[in-house]
Structure 1
């Protein structure tokens, strides 16, 4: 039995195809490994913080976490190379590890991480990509908070959620 023929692609110069090699997108090349880990772990940390029960809000339930995951996935369609590269990296993690940033953490630590990410983006990212990333991270939190409004879809976020979103927006430099 013959194996099916697989077409091979070669560049104009006759070099072998780059298929099968994982080249980092140009977007990621300007970040150190620690900076890239920060940018790719921040959306997960935001989901954890926004879906956590706290004073003034009951446990938001599974729907809130799922809304956060859906919001992260929506980043694949963003008109930002940076956001798409971050989402691709998040989905490319094949070892099942969520990464150190996805562990539950104090919101103060989350806000500090947001401020560091904002400084990194201001130094290294195109201004449009920086704004898109920061707005995307904020939208992840907003979708989680919206889904956490148990039994009252369409209502504004609870005061505790509004406070979280306002502080997150400040830490991301959006306010």
Structure 2
């Protein structure tokens, strides 16, 4: 039987949230669970100086998301579990997902949430994991010169890392 943090059984029909997720509001949790997918979409999107990405790059990003299951962070593992548990079938609003300004703002908002609510080790692990999703996409399909990440890709990763407080 699942018990709440206080040791009392949860309300009828409800499961107690894992301690990791219980400290976040619904909006904060949506931000944290949605950010890896938004980063994946932005990393696969072509842009000035950034090559068109194929299926291989998208699969590399999905593998990076799934790799979070093996992280030594309760937060990262809980986020990955929540991502894989979603079955709403609603199409994502791609015009917002690939907008770089919006993505960087979401990254900075996630950092603020993590500073307020997360253990510092979980915060660092989450931010590094999100960055690794973009990194794997950018390195997945080398350009025509054989370089895995173009200068534009490196700028993208640098901007993302800065917004995530990693730079």
Q: What is the TM-score with the length of structure 1 in the denominator?
A: 0.82
Contact 1:51 1:148 in 2 (8 A): no
Q: What does the per-residue CA deviation read over 1:67-125, in whole Å, with 9 as the maximum and x for residues that have no partner? A: 11010000000000000000000000022336568953311100000000001001100
Give 1:39-50 correspondences, 5 Å limit: 39-50=32-43
CA-CA distance at 1:23 after TM superposition? 3.2
1:44 counterpart SS class? helix
Partner of 1:82: 75
Partner of 1:174: 166
Unaligned runs of 5+ in 2: 4-8
Structure showing greater Rg: 1
Give the 3 Å change call, closer, same or farther, for CA 98–78 of structure 1 in structure 2: farther
Number of residue equivalences: 160
Q: Over aligned residue pairs, what C-alpha RMSD do you find?
A: 2.6
Contact 2:96 2:102 in 1 (8 A): no
Partner of 2:87: 94
CA-CA distance at 1:21 after TM superposition? 6.1
CA-CA distance at 1:62 after TM superposition? 1.0
Give the 3 Å change call, closer, same or farther, for CA 122–81 of structure 1 in structure 2: same
- CA distance in 2: counterparts of 1:152 and 1:82, whole angstroms: 39
1:113 aligns with 2:106: yes
Q: What is the TM-score with the length of structure 2 in the denominator?
A: 0.86
Partner of 1:38: 31
